[in-house]
């Protein structure tokens, strides 16, 4: 099966995860795709193919060398974002894109004026949706690339490689993808997530991340008799958010600058709930940001009474740089692979997180490599066929170089 066909087949499955679910995976529809993918891996005759009851898929491409080599792995998630519609995706290929507007559907236009990243892909074949849904290249492009690379290595025994483990998981988009990942079963010396953006992306720094749920308790009284009695939780919610610095939100930050993000808010007079994301690359600044949120709650409680504002806060993941710094060979191998494939590497700190961040702190060094998705999480998402092919070549070359790592 060709890479493009494989990827488009994957996009036909609605695999959106859900933050409102306590099940694993968070949506049953993810399991439908997981079953399809498991059968595909079995049909491709990979070894040790297994899907557990939570939808985590593991498989092996056995090595073809007699010397002892490291066991390396490649990982992608198959769930898609909830930021845009993820069902009834109609993927198509725009052949030999020459710049200018792409009409996804009547009245829905992807224009370089709004999405200048398009211009970097002139002359390439772009896969797009019809503009009413996301495409799902984040991260089904990564899934397709890994499977395609393993098929190529299987069919080309002249390329030396050790045992290669592959894994695909649900619920990355809700920050839970690595939670139930079986690192011991995976059995790798190190691994790579194929979940980065455009050509050449290589990421081994990411945000430290926390989520804060702000509960505000109000007092509802008839408005005609409210003086001195009512505590309007709607207004207190606005007051709380007004304490957040305007220049420390996603809309005003870049690079290594951290932020607070008001993810959602639900309120009425009697009660309100605000959900925040807290992000920073620097460990101390990350701690300071969490304390700032706690101090905002303290101010409301001092003003309106103890128990008015309660914070539930939990850490989500940490900056993997701490763990990669002591395992820099995993980065050096990627850089060599990209050089040999002819890809200029773009080593950047990701303004987000990956499953690899959590896995790195669980003993599996796991930086992130480009998969090709651009404008991800939105209806104008696209991926270049040629970039996906370069990702496949990069995986193959990493496997070849890693087989000689102990020599």
Active-site residue numbers? Answer: 79, 172
**How far is it, in rounded angstroms, from Cα 237 to Cα 261?**
14
Cα gap 129→207, rounded to integer Å:
30
Closest CA to 322 of 259, 258, 367, 255: 367
Pairing mode of beta strands 259-267, 271-280: antiparallel
The DSSP annotation for 63-114 comes to ---SS----EEEEEE--B-SSS--SS---EEETT--SS-EEEETTEEE-TTT
**Nearest-CA neighbor of 355 among 40, 143, 162?**
143
The structure tokens 């290589």 sit at 202
What's the N-to-C CA distance of the chain in angstroms? 35
Residue 232 tokens read as: 């309007």
Q: Which of 367, 391, 400 is nearest to 144 (CA)?
A: 391
Per-residue tokens: 152: 């190529």
Q: What is the dihedral of CA 211, 217, 222, 224, to 10 degrees?
A: -90
Contacts 24+ apart (CB under 8 A), 261-270: 265/237, 265/241, 267/216, 267/233, 267/234, 267/237, 268/220, 268/233, 268/234, 269/218, 269/220, 269/230, 269/232, 269/233, 269/234, 270/217, 270/218, 270/219, 270/220, 270/233
- Are β-strands 201-206 and 346-350 bridged in parallel, bridged antiparallel, or unpaired? parallel
Number of Cβ within 10 Å of residue 106's Cβ equals 8
**What is the rounded CA–CA span in Å between residue 251 and residue 262?**
11
């Amino acid at each position: 099966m060709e890479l493009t066909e494989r990827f488009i087949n994957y996009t036909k499955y609605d695999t959106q995860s859900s933050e409102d679910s306590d099940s694993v995976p968070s949506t049953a529809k993810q399991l439908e795709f997981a079953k399809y993918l498991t059968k595909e891996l079995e049909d491709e005759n990979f070894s040790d193919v297994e899907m557990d009851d939570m939808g985590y898929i593991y498989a092996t491409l056995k090595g073809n060398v007699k010397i002892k080599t490291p066991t390396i792995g490649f990982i992608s998630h198959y769930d898609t974002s909830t930021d845009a519609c993820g069902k009834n995706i109609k993927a198509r290929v725009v052949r030999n894109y020459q710049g200018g507007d792409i009409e996804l559907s009547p009245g829905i236009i992807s224009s370089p004026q709004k999405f200048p990243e398009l211009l970097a892909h002139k002359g390439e074949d772009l896969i797009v949706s019809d503009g009413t849904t996301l495409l799902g290249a984040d991260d089904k492009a990564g899934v397709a690339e890994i499977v395609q690379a393993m098929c190529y290595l299987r069919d080309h025994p002249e390329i030396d490689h050790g045992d290669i483990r592959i894994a695909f998981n649900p619920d990355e988009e809700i920050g839970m993808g690595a939670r139930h990942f079986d690192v011991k079963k995976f059995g790798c010396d190190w691994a790579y997530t194929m979940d980065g953006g455009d050509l050449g992306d290589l990421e081994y720094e990411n945000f430290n991340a926390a989520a804060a749920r702000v509960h505000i308790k109000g007092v509802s009284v008839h408005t005609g008799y409210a003086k001195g009695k009512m505590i309007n939780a709607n207004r207190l919610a606005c007051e709380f958010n007004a304490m957040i610095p305007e220049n420390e939100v996603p809309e005003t930050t870049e690079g290594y600058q951290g932020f607070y993000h008001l993810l959602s808010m639900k309120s009425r007079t009697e009660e309100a709930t605000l959900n925040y994301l807290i992000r920073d690359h620097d460990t101390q600044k990350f701690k300071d940001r969490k304390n700032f949120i706690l101090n905002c709650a303290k101010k409301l409680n001092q003003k309106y009474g103890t128990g008015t504002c309660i914070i539930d806060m939990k850490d989500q993941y940490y900056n993997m740089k701490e763990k990669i710094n002591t395992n820099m060979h995993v980065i050096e191998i990627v850089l060599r692979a990209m050089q040999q494939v002819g890809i200029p590497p773009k080593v950047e700190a990701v303004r987000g997180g990956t499953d690899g961040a959590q896995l790195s702190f669980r003993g599996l060094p796991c930086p992130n490599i480009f998969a090709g998705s651009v404008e991800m999480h939105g209806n104008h998402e696209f991926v270049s066929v040629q970039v996906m092919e370069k990702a496949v070549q990069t995986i193959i070359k990493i496997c070849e170089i890693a087989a000689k790592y102990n020599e």
